[in-house]
Amino acid sequence: METMMLHRGRLIDHLHLVVEDYPDALRFYSAVLQVLNVPIGGSGDDYFWADELFVSTLGSEAAAGVPTGRHHLAFQAASREIVDAFHAAGVAAGGCDNGAPGLRPYHPQYYGAFLLDPAGNNIEAVYHGPAARSAPSVTVEFES
């Protein structure tokens, strides 16, 4: 079997979703991110963020008053069990099943689950199988 190398954290700085129903979005993302062990980093009356994901209302300063179109966003999961828990938590928090947890044909170990969030975005959790990581995440420190 050929070795595949994947890079994470070098292409996307952040993703901004503008939603019409902020409470539904906050409930959904709080539930699925908790399962993925990613805390909400900050929030206000019209926005929240977690790592590279930023979600805001139509009226927020960061938005242009128009909801974002349908996006596909895939979160990394540490195991198949976490993919399963992601799917269950997302459905319980108002998401719609868009592909039950299971193996996918993308590569032999690809195990994913898909949900539609309350705004209709296709949200996935994926586990690529056992792999060695050089670090759990990339840390960026800024000088003041």
Q: Confirm whether 3 is domain-assigned.
A: no
- Its pTM stands at 0.88
Q: Which of 110, 87, 109 is nearest to 100 (CA)?
A: 87
Q: Confirm whether 53 is domain-assigned.
A: yes
Rounded to a whole number of angstroms, the CA Rg of the chain reads 16
CATH of residue 79: 3.10.180.10
Q: Which of 139, 111, 104 is nearest to 127 (CA)?
A: 111
> 18 to each of 65, 78, 137, 144, how far by Cα in Å?
8, 28, 26, 30
The per-residue pLDDT for range 30-60, each reduced to its tens digit, is 999 999 999 999 999 999 999 999 999 999 8
Question: Looking at residues 113-139, what average pLDDT do you find?
Answer: 91
| Tally of structural domains, the chain | 1
Domain housing 35: 12-57+70-133
* Residue 2 reports pLDDT greater than 60: no
Q: Confirm whether 4 is domain-assigned.
A: no
What per-residue confidence (pLDDT) applies to 51?
Answer: 92
- Residue 90 and residue 118: Cα distance in Å, rounded? 10
Diameter of the chain by CA atoms? 51
